[in-house]
């Protein structure tokens, strides 16, 4: 009979290894739960002039004014009209709160570190720099995103997207 004890490290960090899976243009992406504050339904976004196109504007979240970024536009994909199931994923990185728009927010799954594979070294395409790893679970490929890069990386390589 084998008794399995929870390894001490696992008890400590209950969010480690958990990822939020969401969809953009039929591709699945993953974000560490650690940086996700909450998930909101789509709501009216107030425009702010002179912002980059991928920042749609700001919303009022219980008194906190939060900017909202459309990930499709951020990843240089085609814009898609928002519907009732479009989600705003509120992330929190280094005290900066930001809302990310995704087509659908799906579920939370557990991904072992060993399942994460470094992304292939393909030509520096536009949004590859946001992807830190790839993982294949349940027969679908999920791209694990580097949230900090999404926030801070403002360089644009003038390349046609694939």
Decide if 74 contacts 61 (C-beta within 8 A).
Answer: no
Nearest CB to another protein, comparing residues 59 and 143: 59
Q: Does 71 bind another protein (CB under 8 A)?
A: no
**Contact code string over 25-44 relative to another protein, x by CB under 8 A:** -------------------x
Sheet holding 131-137, edge to edge: 104-110, 18-24, 27-32, 140-145, 131-137
Q: Does 46 bind another protein (CB under 8 A)?
A: yes
Least distance in angstroms from the C-beta of 71 to another protein? 15
By the 10 Å C-beta count (0-12 exposed, 13-18 middle, 19+ buried), 23 is classed as middle
Least distance in angstroms from the C-beta of 26 to another protein? 29
Give Cβ neighbours of residue 47 (< 8 Å, ≥ 6 apart).
56, 57
Whole-number Å distance between alpha carbons of 103 and 22: 7
Question: Which residue in the set 4, 14, 63, 112 belongs to the binding site for another protein (CB under 8 A)?
Answer: 63
Could you say which residues in the range 97-126 bind another protein, by CB under 8 A? 97-98
- Residue 128 main-chain phi, psi, to 5 deg: -60, -30
Nearest CB to another protein, comparing residues 58 and 116: 58
Which residues are near another protein by CB under 8 A? 44, 46-52, 55, 58-60, 62-67, 96-98, 151
């Amino acid at each position: 009979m084998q008794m399995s004890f929870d390894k001490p490290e696992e008890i400590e960090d209950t969010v480690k290894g958990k990822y939020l899976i969401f969809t953009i243009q039929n591709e699945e992406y993953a974000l560490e739960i650690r940086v996700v504050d909450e998930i909101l339904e789509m709501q009216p976004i107030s425009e702010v002039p002179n912002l980059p196109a991928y920042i749609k504007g700001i919303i009022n979240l219980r008194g906190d004014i939060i900017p909202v970024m459309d990930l499709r536009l951020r990843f240089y994909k085609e814009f898609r009209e928002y519907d009732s199931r479009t989600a705003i994923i509120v992330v929190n990185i280094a005290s900066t709160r930001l809302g990310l728009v995704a087509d659908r927010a799906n579920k939370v799954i557990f991904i072992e570190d060993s399942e994460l594979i470094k992304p292939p070294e393909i030509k520096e395409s536009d949004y590859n720099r946001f992807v830190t790893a790839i993982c294949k679970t349940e027969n679908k490929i999920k791209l694990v995103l580097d949230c900090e890069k999404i926030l801070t990386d403002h360089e644009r390589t003038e390349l046609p997207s694939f």
